[in-house]
Amino acid sequence: MTAVLEPTWVNVCALRMLPPEHGVAVLLPSGEQIAVFRTQDDELFALDNLDPVSGAAVLSRGIVGDRAGRPVVSSPMHKQAFDLRTGRCLDDPTIFVRAHPVRLVAETVQVGRP
């Protein structure tokens, strides 16, 4: 039987610092940059902040919205839309960014690390 590892949760920001339809870049203790997003309906998502097309750490500055009901962020560089649930690029399915678990605890946004 394979053990299922629970993530270690890292506090990244207060919910009030993340307005709906915006993202924020956070630096984890490991040195990784994560982009945390809040949608209009208050769902939270986290992706790597590095745009795989441009190589720039800018996804947190992208436009948060939806495409055909899917929550997305559009890169500010070349406008590719990334599914906030999976990290998959909707414009080119061979491109993706890593998605991370995220949760809200006592008005604090947390990102899960393996």
- Give me the CATH number covering residue 85: 2.102.10.10
How are beta strands 8-14 and 108-113 bridged, if at all?
antiparallel
Predicted pLDDT at 30: 87
Domain count, the chain: 1
> Is 35 within the bounds of a domain?
yes
Structure tokens that stand for 89 in this block: 């690029």
pLDDT at 97 over 70: yes
Where in the sequence is the domain holding 22, given as residue range(s)? 8-113
pLDDT in tens, 27-55: 998 899 999 999 999 999 999 999 999 99
Is residue 61 in some structural domain? yes
DSSP states of 31-84 as a string?
S-EEEEEE-TT--EEEEESB-TTT--B-GGGSEEEEETTEEEEE-TTT--EEET
Q: For residue 3, is it within any domain?
A: no
Domain annotation covers residue 95: yes
Residue at 1 is within a domain: no
Tell whether 83 is covered by a domain: yes
